Structure 1
Amino acid sequence: MDRLQSMRVFAKVVEMGSFAKAADALELSATVVTRNLADLETHLGSRLLNRTTRKLSLTESGQVYLARVRQILSDIEDADAEVSSQSRTASGVLRIYCQPGFGQSQLGRLLPLYARDMPDVVLDVTLSDHGVDLVQEGFDVGIFLGVQKFDSSLVARQLATSNLILCASPEYVARRGEPIAPADLSNHDCLNFAYEQLRHHWPIQWGDQHVNVPIHSRMISNNGAVLREAALAGMGVAIRSSFAIEDDLTSGRLVQLLKGRHLGQTSVMIVYPSRRLMSWKTRTFIDFMAARFPHPKCDPWLAETEAVAEASPDAACRAK
């Protein structure tokens, strides 16, 4: 027995004063209506209605039960309406995970714009270099760089392409000199992210050749913010994502080294558990971010020479 359906049938029969009218209102057959009410009375072990050929009347038990049933059905309608309304309204807590470099350089300026348009959304933002399980840890959405791992069952959408570039502070370059060729890096202090494949060699594209340059690590860290601070302090040369140090390059706090040499690219992905029944707060945030990065391959700090940039069909994108 579907008890909730039987409750609806009972309440409708009382409201309409007739089994036949209740059946029409519920778009059920009279037989189904009669059976639902009989099943409900059997379940309760008590008669709810007195029936005659001309009239229906509530028993004492029926009067008590009807009051509770009407309250239950009203609460269910309110709950349905509340959830349905929330599904079309951006509200509640939006939990966001983000890779720190992108988060510090981009989210800090973008989130206030989103918050201005979505005043009922509370932003709960976590920045971490460590991978997370979005579903298990309760995040609504995550922003990952291509080197980070995430569950392949999640939905991923590319936001942008970030280029890996060599950088150092002007003070370091003045003290130690600027590397002219990749091999020069072997004589410099290197600030290294804690990936095993980067500990002893840095991969650099030199013309048509791909070379692995032996390097001396002055510092190794699994935290990009620590490496950035070390580079700003003049401690050495770092490989960083262009998004992570965009403001530093623009202001001149850091300078790009070996311009025209390609160290590789990494995708910036916005990741979320499912497209199905997505909350409106999550949907609006994904659309907001996608609108801010309309050209996923556009990056103002591509490690190319000006001549190459001018000849490239993507030059207009980079000049945006």
Structure 2
Amino acid sequence: MNKLQAMEVFVQVVDAGGFTRAAENMKLPKATVSTLVQALESTLSAKLLNRTTRHVSVTAEGAAYYDRCLRILSAVRDAEDNLTQNRTSPAGRLRVDAPTWLASEVIIPALPDFFAAYPTIRLELGCSDRQVDLVEEGVDCAIRGGRQLADSRLVARRVGTMHYMTCASPDYLARHGRPLHPDELAQHACVNYFSARTGEVFDWYFARDGERIQIGLSSHIALNDSFAYTAAGLAGLGIVQMADVLMTPMINDGRLIPILEGWDNAPLPIYVMYPHHRHLPAKLRVFLDWTMQLFSNHPTLR
């Protein structure tokens, strides 16, 4: 038995919550994964996992051994990286997930510079407004915005801030008039945004001179994709509230008009998130550093 391989397989089974997902993530036969864990248990004379037909959970002894495995595997990989980083550039497949609008408007336009610096990295960029499960889906890191991103399995590194604008199309304002206070939005058609993961319809936020308003608005339409959401605003379906980096070009060319100016729309932090217990490979480390630099230089997101 290759002890290091068996330890890595055991860690993957714990992370994935089962043998099937771990085998898929490691591209190994399920039988090989199961055999390696059983051999590890036999060598240690300890039961590391509780197995049922539907679920795998770690035992108390397994949890303690898991923590030690993480440290050992991390030390081995650090040693390997230290030997190779001066001879080779970061390389390999890197899976990243980001909201559609952020990927399209900020990340993708800057990628030529990234690939010029790291030509041997193969980036797989998932673009959607759905919040992926990084551990379950084998994603190396995700860029997310929000007020509460608590997940004990993840490290969250803040890279920027999203500022929001409230807008409407010229056609809508010509037909319905311009609200002068957030309280007047209840008398208007508003386009809501809902979570693709939970179905929750997001509230609208406003603040000015110490006054804070959080309101839930009824609407004829709610969407869960940022580009579809802005398309609804452009079509005159109602008032919209979205990140200014997405809205500004449409305002500059007159397709949308900002309203309720002077009201702060509760800016949200942007994070890069990645599993905290995993070794940080060079390809992920350079992407994190590049992302930090990208956002710090952006005029509206820094």
What is the 5 A alignment of 1:1-320?
85=84, 89-147=89-147, 149=149, 151-194=151-194, 198=201, 202-213=204-215, 215-274=217-276, 277-294=279-296, 300=300
* Distance of 2:248 and 2:264 partners within structure 1: 17
* Distance of 1:91 and 1:105 partners within structure 2: 25
Larger radius of gyration: 1
Matched AA of 2:189: D
- Mark the CA change 1:263 to 1:96 in structure 2 (over 3 Å): closer, same or farther: same
* Stretches of structure 1 lacking an aligned partner (at least 5 in a row): 3-79, 302-316
* Distance of 2:200 and 2:221 partners within structure 1: 15
Q: Is the 8 A contact 1:105 1:245 kept in 2?
A: no
* Distance of 2:156 and 2:287 partners within structure 1: 14
Q: Is the 8 A contact 1:115 1:121 kept in 2?
A: yes
Q: Is the 8 A contact 1:166 1:257 kept in 2?
A: yes
Q: Is the 8 A contact 2:178 2:259 kept in 1?
A: yes
Identity %: 28
* CA displacement, residues 120-156 of structure 1 (integer Å, 9 cap, x when unaligned): 1111110122221212211121101115746233221
After TM superposition, give the deviation of residue 227 of structure 1 in Å: 0.9
CA RMSD, aligned part only? 3.2
**Residues matched between the structures, number:** 222
* Distance of 1:83 and 1:208 partners within structure 2: 52
After TM superposition, give the deviation of residue 220 of structure 1 in Å: 0.9
Q: Is the 8 A contact 1:154 1:272 kept in 2?
A: yes
Q: Is the 8 A contact 2:97 2:139 kept in 1?
A: yes
* Distance of 1:86 and 1:275 partners within structure 2: 22
Matched AA of 1:89: S
Q: Is the 8 A contact 1:160 1:299 kept in 2?
A: no
After TM superposition, give the deviation of residue 206 of structure 1 in Å: 4.2
TM-score where L is the length of structure 1:
0.60
* Stretches of structure 2 lacking an aligned partner (at least 5 in a row): 3-78
After TM superposition, give the deviation of residue 271 of structure 1 in Å: 1.2
Q: Is the 8 A contact 1:94 1:281 kept in 2?
A: yes
* Distance of 1:82 and 1:198 partners within structure 2: 45
Q: Is the 8 A contact 1:93 1:123 kept in 2?
A: yes
TM-score where L is the length of structure 2:
0.63
- Mark the CA change 1:275 to 1:170 in structure 2 (over 3 Å): closer, same or farther: farther
Q: Is the 8 A contact 2:89 2:118 kept in 1?
A: no
Matched AA of 1:158: R
Matched AA of 1:105: E
Match of 1:27 in 2: none
* CA displacement, residues 287-317 of structure 1 (integer Å, 9 cap, x when unaligned): 111112227xx8638xxxxxxxxxxxxxxx8
* CA displacement, residues 6-46 of structure 1 (integer Å, 9 cap, x when unaligned): xxxxxxxxxxxxxxxxxxxxxxxxxxxxxxxxxxxxxxxxx
Tell which deviates more after alignment, 209-218 or 286-295: 209-218
